[in-house]
Structure 1
Amino acid sequence: MVSTQTLIENNKDLYIQATQHPFLAQLGKAQIDPKALQSFLNQDRVFALGYCKWLAMIAARIPLLEQSSKPNTHDVDSLHLMSFAISNGLREVNMFPNTLASLNLEYRAVEANAACFDYVQYLYQLDNNDDAIVALWALEKVYLDGWGYAKSLDTSRSSPYSELLDNWTCEQFVHFVDTDLKAQVERIQSTDTRRFDDIFASICRLEIAFWEQSLLLQ
């Protein structure tokens, strides 16, 4: 069995760097350069598109009806989860232009920067669903906890970014990450913990690079 808590503990330093990055600290304190936030939101829309395609790749590999005419309950649950994640990802793709406009920032149909492109390409090369599910949980866990950290710094609750902070820490997202995806990971039957540690560490590094490039490309 794979322990999500052990994956975090084994990569604690990288996890903290990814979830308490200066980008998130500046955002939570409402000290972020608007150009950095604009860069992030435009790139995150590009990432969300690649993310949705990747989820479809995971769904296509679910072994539903491959070895039996009776649908496997776990396969059906997995398909439902991927469907939910794709639907939610596409909702966010459509949300970005309006979010940027509400913050007086410019929406741009940009190309993926180096950090975004490398991140998506890493996900695409995970051709085993156990590996992909660990990566999916890891990236959503880091994202959830990163936004949670930023929100914890918004002590006045008067930040112009409160809507963003609430969106990525909402109860539905918490349940998706800490209940649904966690259960998917912890049902994996494998003793190869080093392989999953490497995936978690890679996701943390890719998240750090994504935050970092948003600060650099102002």
Structure 2
Amino acid sequence: MTTNFAVGPNTTELWEHVRPLVEEIEALPFLTQLADGSLDPVAFANYINQDSIYLSGYAKAMSFLAGKTTDRDESRFWSTSAAEAITVEEDMHAQLLSDARLGQALTDLEANDRLGASPTTLGYVSFLVATSATRSYGEGVAGVLPCFWVYAHMGKVLIERAGAMSEDHPYRTWVQTYDSPEFDESTRKAVTILERELERAPEDELTRMRAAFERACVYELHFWASAHAMQTWDAAVFAV
């Protein structure tokens, strides 16, 4: 499935460059199982918990961008997006706790001391905050964009795969809200900002911006996969 949020030649080229990564995300068992309703509730609860941790850091990264830009509209956009990320976090937890199956799964995670950030979540958040805080505005924008773009794209993929979901589909509400016209609009606004920054960037910065965008796409892939694999800090996985 192709979802084209690109608004110009630069973002079109960038999206085509990372398409193999996007296709890897599309092929993850997590998304197939989420769409057909067979996903283990504990794996979903783990994903939601990790996403909640991630969104707090993501909001901080966008707050740095809001303070860096000299464009009032862009500053307002990043500030609003940061606030909405916190709201989404709160709503996700409320939804999780309101469903008996998912609430029990969250309880199981807590009982096993599994509510902290995974290595991948911490790495992704650290990358975004550091890039937004210490690198150029353009690099920061490129770093935060995959969360908008990949998530908006995957929302369309999930809706297409899930089809007409029954009332008892365990993830029906979540899948439906994932494909949001409001989020699509925010994604297009963010991509428009990136297109402008790519157009005006000198060649050396352009290279760094492309690298930041690609690195964040790799983190998107690892984020989905690591949440499904219930990644922990257990060093035993490295044992020979």
TM-score range, shorter chain: 0.7 to 0.9
Who is 2:210 aligned against? Answer: 197
Who is 1:78 aligned against? Answer: 74
How high is the sequence identity, in percent, across the aligned residues?
Answer: 21
How far off is 1:101 after superposition? 1.9
Equivalence map 1:1-218=2 (5 Å): 3-63=10-70, 75-104=71-100, 105-106=102-103, 107=106, 110-126=115-131, 127-158=135-166, 159-177=169-187, 179-188=188-197, 189-192=200-203, 193-217=206-230
Output one character per residue of 1:112-168: Cα deviation in whole Å (capped at 9) or x when no partner: 111100000110221211011122222211111122212211112223312211222
Who is 1:71 aligned against? Answer: none
How far off is 1:50 after superposition? 0.8
Distance in 1, Cα, partners of 2:170 & 2:72 = 41
Distance in 2, Cα, partners of 1:147 & 1:102 = 22
**8 Å Cα contact 2:145/2:213 also seen in 1:** no
Secondary structure in 2 aligned to 1:110?
A: coil
**8 Å Cα contact 2:24/2:221 also seen in 1:** yes
Output one character per residue of 1:93-120: Cα deviation in whole Å (capped at 9) or x when no partner: 2112211123321345922111100000
Give the RMSD, CA atoms, in angstroms.
Answer: 2.0
Distance in 1, Cα, partners of 2:220 & 2:59 = 17
Unaligned runs of 5+ in 2: 1-7, 232-240
Secondary structure in 1 aligned to 2:76?
A: helix
TM-score (norm 2): 0.79
**What letter is aligned with 1:113?**
S
Distance in 2, Cα, partners of 1:18 & 1:201 = 14
**What letter is aligned with 2:83?**
S
User: Which protein has the bigger helix share?
Assistant: 2
Query: How many positions carry a matched residue from both structures?
Result: 206
How far off is 1:2 after superposition? 6.5
Divergent runs of 4+, >3 A = 106-109, 191-194
Output one character per residue of 1:33-87: Cα deviation in whole Å (capped at 9) or x when no partner: 1111010001111111111111111112223xxxxxxxxxxx1111110122012
Report the CA distance shift for 1:196/1:15 in structure 2 as closer, same or farther (over 3 A).
Answer: farther
Bigger mean CA deviation after superposition, 161-170 or 40-49: 161-170
TM-score (norm 1): 0.87
Unaligned runs of 5+ in 1: 64-74
**8 Å Cα contact 1:45/1:93 also seen in 2:** yes
Distance in 2, Cα, partners of 1:60 & 1:185 = 16
Output one character per residue of 1:11-37: Cα deviation in whole Å (capped at 9) or x when no partner: 221121134422112101111111110
Q: Name which structure has the greater RCO, CA cutoff 8 Å, separation 6+.
A: 1
